[in-house]
Structure 1
Amino acid sequence: MVNFGKDDDLQFTFLRRAGVTTIPPMSVVPSSWEFAAAVEAGVGWGLIPIMQLGDLSKDLVPLSSEPNIDVPLFCHHWNLASEKLGRLTEALHRSAVQMR
C-alpha cells in the first residue's frame, strides 16, 4: 500500500469498508504527484483523486466496484479583511455547492 503520510487514513478507510482489519506493508510518499507516480510504478496500491488521474487512468485499474470515497475539504486562511481573499472564498463556496 502507498500512503501519503502519518495523518492519511484514506487507504485505511477503504480497507475497513472492504472488511480488512490488518495493516498491509506500506510505503509513505508525502507528495501528491510522487504518490500517484509511485502507484503507477507499482510500488503499491493507493487511492488517487479523480481530478489527478489524467493520463494515469489508462494504466490503473479500480480496486473495487465502489472505489470512490468522499473526502471533506477545508480551506484555511488568515482572518484578515481582503477583497481578493473575499472573492476567492466566495468562488470556493460557489464551486463547492455546485460539486455536491
Structure 2
Amino acid sequence: MSGKGKRKEQQQEDYASDGSAEAHAPPKKASKTDASDDSDDIVVCEISKNRRVSVRNWQGKIWIDIREFYVKDGKQFPGKKGISLSVEQWNVLRDHVDDIEKALGDS
C-alpha cells in the first residue's frame, strides 16, 4: 500500500477535534423519535469545568471520549473539540503513561 493510502486509512480510523474524519463522530442531530445514545455514556471524570472523560457505546463499539462541553439554554452539550479513542487506541495511550510522566519530569 502506498503512503497516501495508509494516511487516508489512518484518517478514517481516527476522529479528531478538527472534524477531519467524522466517521466515528456521533450524529450532529437526532430526531425526536430517535433514542438518545447518551443513556450509554458513563462519565468517568471531569477534567475541568467544561471538559470531561466518558466511555460510550456508539454503533456497537466502545469509545473513550475526551471532550469539551458548552452550555446552551441551561443544558450541557458536547462540543466539536475533543477526541474519541477506540479501546485499542486507549490501550496504546495507557501503556505509554510512564513515558509521558518521564517527559513531563524533564520539562
More helix by share: 1
Question: TM-score normalized by structure 2?
Answer: 0.22
Greater relative contact order: 1 or 2 (C-alpha under 8 angstroms, separation 6 or more)? 1
More strand by share: 2
Question: TM-score normalized by structure 1?
Answer: 0.23
